[in-house]
Structure 1
Amino acid sequence: MESIFHEKQAGSLSAQHCLNNLLQGEYFSPVELSSIAHQLDEEERMRMAEGGVTSEDYHTFLQQPSGNMDDSGFFSIQVIGNALKVWGLELILFNSPEYQRLRIDPINERSFICNYKEHWFTVRKLGKQWFNLNSLLMGPELVSDAYLALFLAQLQQEGYSMFVVKGDLPDCEADQLLQMIRVQQMHRPKPIGEELAQLKESIKQTWNEC
């Protein structure tokens, strides 16, 4: 597990963590993603301007906050999609009629990006095994082949949007290593908040015993 790159949650930068965990390295920073978001905003502004810069719609658009990013560190699916284009990767909506008609077994894919209420995370195959690389967990979570389809179906039921990542992901150490060995996981990694709460409770109990 040590070879797997896993960026933990910082602020609301889940889009950054999602991308870096997918690509298995520190490929994107908030500054770089902000640059992509500003570029998308400018393209949208130019399209709106085609209808006339004096129109009410154009002025309303200028007064609205960006739909591609906010001050908390949230970035839109358009920003993520454009960031992945740099690597020759594209996103396809998992539950779209076009994709579902192909009837592809999820196990034959390489990675998924999931979103719910402005939180993004990656589920990726490394070597011959699947891992949930959610930045809200203390570490990667092993997802068995038998459980993968059920895991994705459960996310859909919970309201997640899911995207299939198409294209060749960059080479990484974890993928190379896990082609040769299989890992086992005795315990599911804890959510970051739960780990912190347990630590505080432990400190509190130690203090009371003193």
Structure 2
Amino acid sequence: MREMYQCQEGSLCAQHCLNNLLQGEYFSPVELSSIAHQLDEEERMRMAEGGVQSEEYRTFLQQPSGNMDDSGFFSIQVISNALGVWGLEIVLFNSREYQQLCINPINEKAFICNYKEHWFTVRKLGQQWFNLNSLLTGPELISDTYLALFLAQLQQEGYSIFVIRGNLPDCEADQILGIMRVEQQQRPKLIGEDEANRMSVEQHVSDPGQSTDEVLLDEDEEELRKALALSRQDMEVEDEEADLRRAIQLSMQGSSKPISSGETNAVMVASSESESSEKETLTADELRRRRQAYFDRQSQQQTQSSTHDSKPAGEDSGTKASPSQ
């Protein structure tokens, strides 16, 4: 299908619009200029009917052509006449007459769009819609569900949209896409977009000896470093919270030894810290400090308990035996 797609050359967007619509090299700038000159002559003759000596006629002769200019722009009248050769006509999409028909855009065959001096085609090939804007590097696939939104967006941007009515000439792309569907992995870019991005990068090169690839690599690495730093920070906070929760759960589990008042206080403090951490977001430093304080208390209590268990058995037996004496 790319062979049947014309990219922009100069300001001949009207020519590209027509050839992309008809899917072939049907019109050249010379042929369109001929149509424009014919329209100019018809307008001149109508103006002459009011008198060649009239002010209106002399003013008309001094004005440039409204159907074409030196840049290669052609008017809607030129396009309409060119399509008339193929038995096609155009209808304004947002006109009251057309809107009253309540036709779903996906049931049409093609549209041509104009904003200021730029023309481009949107056409159905096979069962799929394509944006054949000559300013793009290639055809852009448009889904059926997106077509109406795409046309509405163009209208909001100031485009005039015309519906193509009549039978378009047969083309190879329509036949091929009639028996198969295509998928587009990457949307086409605007012509010159890559070059503009490259020039923008070159303008940001501070080191004359640094290449464009190095600048791109440095920018990518910097973005990656920022993303990793944020990721590590989030993981670190999550790890701290998880460690604190596990420590609290272990301290609250039932054990063979009775829980001393000091241990109970430690559990209550840890539980209080856990509840407050759920109510507010704690920084990694705060979590470390609270966890370390908790483990310090646990370590101190374990040391005291170990000292108590290591006392001589005689002391315990004597203490227990004294009430019976």
Instruction: Determine if the alignment matches structure 1 residue 114 to structure 2 residue 118.
Output: no
* Counterpart among 198, 201, 212 of residue 205 in structure 1: 212
Alignment of 1:1-210 (within 5 A): 1-2=1-2, 5-198=4-197, 205=212
State the alpha-carbon separation in 2 of the partners of residues 159 and 141 from structure 1: 20
Report what 2:295 is aligned to. Answer: none
Give the drift of 1:201.
6.6
Give the drift of 1:200.
5.4
State the alpha-carbon separation in 2 of the partners of residues 200 and 144 from structure 1: 33
Indicate the structure (1 or 2) with the bigger Cα radius of gyration.
2
State the alpha-carbon separation in 2 of the partners of residues 196 and 87 from structure 1: 39
Give the drift of 1:32.
0.5
State the alpha-carbon separation in 1 of the partners of residues 134 and 2 from structure 2: 15
**Cα RMSD (Å) of the superposition?**
1.8
Deviation larger for 199-208 or 147-156: 199-208
TM-score normalised per structure 2:
0.62
Give the drift of 1:193.
2.0
Give 5+ residue unaligned stretches, structure 1: none
Partner SS state of residue 115, structure 1: strand
**Cα pair 2:109 2:164 within 8 Å, conserved:** yes
Write the letter of the residue equivalent to 2:212.
Answer: Q
State the alpha-carbon separation in 2 of the partners of residues 195 and 107 from structure 1: 32
TM-score normalised per structure 1:
0.94
Write the letter of the residue equivalent to 1:186.
Answer: Q
Q: Deviations over 1:42-79 (max 9, x none)?
A: 00000000101111000000000000000000000000
**Cα pair 2:2 2:139 within 8 Å, conserved:** no
Q: What is the count of residue pairs matched by the alignment?
A: 208
Write the letter of the residue equivalent to 1:108.
Answer: N
State the alpha-carbon separation in 2 of the partners of residues 196 and 27 from structure 1: 31
Cα gap change, 1:199 to 1:31, in 2 (>3 Å): farther
Partner SS state of residue 192, structure 1: coil
State the alpha-carbon separation in 2 of the partners of residues 129 and 101 from structure 1: 25
Q: Relative contact order, CA 8 A, sep 6+: which one is greater?
A: 1
Cα gap change, 1:71 to 1:104, in 2 (>3 Å): same
Q: Deviations over 1:124-174 (max 9, x none)?
A: 000000000000000000000010000000001111000000000010000
Q: Which has the higher strand share?
A: 1
Give the drift of 1:2.
3.8
**Cα pair 2:13 2:118 within 8 Å, conserved:** yes
Give the drift of 1:11.
1.1
Write the letter of the residue equivalent to 1:43.
Answer: E
State the alpha-carbon separation in 2 of the partners of residues 199 and 6 from structure 1: 26
State the alpha-carbon separation in 1 of the partners of residues 33 and 134 from structure 2: 20
**Cα pair 2:132 2:140 within 8 Å, conserved:** yes
Give the drift of 1:186.
1.1
Give the drift of 1:89.
0.3
Q: Deviations over 1:13-47 (max 9, x none)?
A: 10000000000011111100000000000000000
State the alpha-carbon separation in 1 of the partners of residues 215 and 150 from structure 2: 41
Give the drift of 1:6.
1.0
State the alpha-carbon separation in 1 of the partners of residues 133 and 34 from structure 2: 24
Give 5+ residue unaligned stretches, structure 2: 203-210, 217-325
Give the drift of 1:195.
2.9
Partner SS state of residue 15, structure 1: helix
State the alpha-carbon separation in 1 of the partners of residues 2 and 13 from structure 2: 21
